[in-house]
C-alpha cells in the first residue's frame, strides 16, 4: 500500500506560536512512519518557512529546531500539483503532498488564512474549511451563529478599536449598563486564553480593554458565569460524534494562559464530575454547536455548567485545539495515533467531496457575445 505524504505545519506568525510547537511535537510523535511520509514544516515568528531536517521532535518546544543543520527553506505552492517546495544549493526539490496537518493555533493558521491557501492548492487538510475556521476564530461571529441556532451563551458586547479611540468612557458606560462586575474581556480573534482578563471595576475594565486591543481590532466584554468549566471534543464530518466530557478546575481565578501552559495549578478531570444526564446534554449541545458552525474534522467545544441552575452555557469553540484534545478520546478507547489516522481520513474525504462540486458553468456567454446576441435583459 502506497504511503500518504503528510505535511505537518507548525509555529506561525501568531501570539500562540509556542503553543503550536507543543501541539506539533505530539502530532508528529503519533504519525505512524510506516503509513506516512512525514514532512515537518515550521514557520518562524518572522514568517520564514523551514522544512525541519531533524528527527528529534523534542527540539520543537524549546525552539532549537530552527538551528538544525539539515533544515531547508521551504514553501507550499499555491499551484495545483506542485506540493511542497524546498530549496537546497540553488535547486528546488518538489514533494507530492497528500494531506496537510495544520497544527497552527490562532492568527494566520486557525482563522481561515492557511485553509484558503491549501484550498487554492487543491491539497487535503485536517480540520474545518475556510468559512468555518474564520467564523470560529472570531468570537463575535461565533456568538451570532450560536445565537441564531438557539444555543444558550453568556451575554456579550463588542467594542471596536475605533469606538474605543473615539469614546472610551462611552464604551465603558455601555458595558456597565449591560453587566455587573466582574466581567470577562477577550480579544475577538485569539485562542489559548491569550489576552483574556477578568475586570472587577471600571478601572480594571479600562486596562483590560486596552490590553485586549493589542491583539486585534475587536474586543468582547462578557458577563461572568459562575459555573464548572466543561469541555468536549467533536470528531467527524457529516455525522460527527462527541467525546467524553472533561472538566477544568483552574486553580487560579480563571483558566488563563498562565494556568494552561506555565503553571501546575490547574487540575483536570476526565470524565467530568457531572451527572450522566448533564454529560449527555453537554455532548448533544457540542454537536449542535459544531454543526451550526459547519465544522469538520475536529473541534473542542467549551461550556460552563452554571452552578445556580445546572444550565449548560456555551463558551467557545476551538477548531485546532491544543494536542487536538486527544485526552478526551482516550477513555473511549481511541489512542492519539488512531485519532491522527481518523483526522487524515476525514481530510481526504472532505477533498473528495469538494472535488465533486462543479467548478464551471457552460453558459455560452462568450459565444453569444461574439455572435452579437443579447445576454442581459433590461
Quickly state the pLDDT bin for 90 (edges 50, 70, 90): confident
pLDDT greater at residue 194 or residue 169: 169
* pLDDT tens digits, one per residue of 3-34: 999 999 999 998 889 999 999 999 999 999 99
Phi, psi of 100 (to 5 degrees): -105, 135
List the helix and strand counts (H, then E) for the chain.
11, 17
* pLDDT tens digits, one per residue of 147-158: 999 999 999 999
Work out the percent of the chain whose per-residue pLDDT is above 70.
Answer: 90
Give the pLDDT of residue 35.
Answer: 96
DSSP, res 67: G
Residue pair 111/142 in contact by the 8 Å Cβ criterion: no
Give the pLDDT of residue 362.
Answer: 62
* pLDDT tens digits, one per residue of 200-228: 999 999 999 999 999 889 999 999 999 99
What three-state secondary structure class fits 298? Answer: strand
Beta strands in the chain (DSSP E): 4-11, 36-43, 49-51, 72-76, 84-88, 91-95, 99-103, 124-125, 156-160, 183-187, 197-199, 218-223, 227-236, 241-249, 267-269, 297-306, 312-318
Q: How far is CA 239 from CA 57, 62, 234, 287, 346, in A?
A: 34, 38, 10, 9, 11
Nearest Cα neighbor of 323 from 209, 246, 211 is 246
Nearest Cα neighbor of 105 from 220, 261, 272 is 261
Amino acid at each position: 500500500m502506497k504511503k500518504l505524504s503528510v505535511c505537518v505545519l507548525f509555529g506561525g506568525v501568531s501570539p500562540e506560536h509556542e503553543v503550536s510547537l507543543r501541539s506539533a511535537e505530539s502530532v508528529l510523535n503519533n504519525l505512524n512512519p510506516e503509513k506516512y511520509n512525514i514532512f515537518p514544516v515550521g514557520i518562524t515568528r518572522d514568517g520564514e518557512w523551514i522544512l525541519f531536517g531533524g528527527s528529534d521532535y523534542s527540539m520543537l518546544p524549546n525552539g532549537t529546531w530552527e538551528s538544525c543543520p539539515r533544515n531547508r527553506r521551504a514553501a507550499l505552492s499555491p499551484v495545483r500539483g506542485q506540493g511542497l517546495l524546498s530549496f537546497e544549493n540553488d535547486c528546488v526539490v518538489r514533494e507530492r503532498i497528500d494531506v496537510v496537518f495544520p497544527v497552527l493555533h490562532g492568527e494566520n493558521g486557525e482563522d481561515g488564512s492557511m485553509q484558503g491557501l491549501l484550498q487554492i492548492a487543491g491539497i487535503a487538510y485536517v480540520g474545518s474549511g475556510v468559512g468555518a475556521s474564520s467564523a470560529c476564530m472570531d468570537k463575535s461571529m461565533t456568538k451570532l451563529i450560536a445565537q441564531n441556532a438557539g444555543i444558550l451563551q453568556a451575554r456579550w458586547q463588542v467594542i471596536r478599536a475605533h469606538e474605543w479611540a473615539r469614546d472610551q468612557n462611552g464604551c465603558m458606560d455601555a458595558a456597565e449598563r449591560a453587566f455587573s462586575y466582574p466581567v470577562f474581556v477577550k480579544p475577538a480573534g485569539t485562542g489559548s486564553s491569550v489576552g483574556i482578563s477578568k475586570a472587577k471595576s471600571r478601572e480594571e475594565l479600562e486596562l483590560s480593554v486596552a490590553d485586549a486591543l493589542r491583539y486585534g481590532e475587536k474586543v468582547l466584554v462578557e458577563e461572568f458565569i459562575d459555573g464548572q468549566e466543561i469541555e468536549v471534543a467533536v470528531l467527524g464530518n457529516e455525522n460527527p460524534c462527541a467525546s467524553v466530557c472533561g472538566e477544568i478546575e483552574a486553580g487560579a481565578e480563571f483558566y488563563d494562559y498562565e494556568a494552561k501552559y506555565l503553571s501546575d495549578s490547574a487540575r483536570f478531570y476526565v470524565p467530568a464530575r457531572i451527572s450522566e444526564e448533564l454529560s449527555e446534554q453537554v455532548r448533544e449541545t457540542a454537536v449542535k454547536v459544531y454543526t451550526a458552525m459547519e465544522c469538520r474534522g475536529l473541534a473542542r467545544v467549551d461550556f460552563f455548567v452554571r452552578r445556580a441552575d445546572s444550565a449548560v452555557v456555551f463558551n467557545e469553540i476551538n477548531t485546532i485545539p491544543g494536542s487536538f484534545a486527544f485526552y478526551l478520546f482516550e477513555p473511549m478507547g481511541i489512542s492519539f495515533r488512531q485519532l491522527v489516522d481518523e483526522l487524515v481520513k476525514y481530510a481526504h474525504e472532505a477533498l473528495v467531496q469538494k472535488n465533486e462540486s462543479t467548478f464551471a458553468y457552460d453558459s455560452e456567454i462568450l459565444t453569444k457575445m461574439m455572435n452579437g446576441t443579447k445576454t442581459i435583459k433590461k
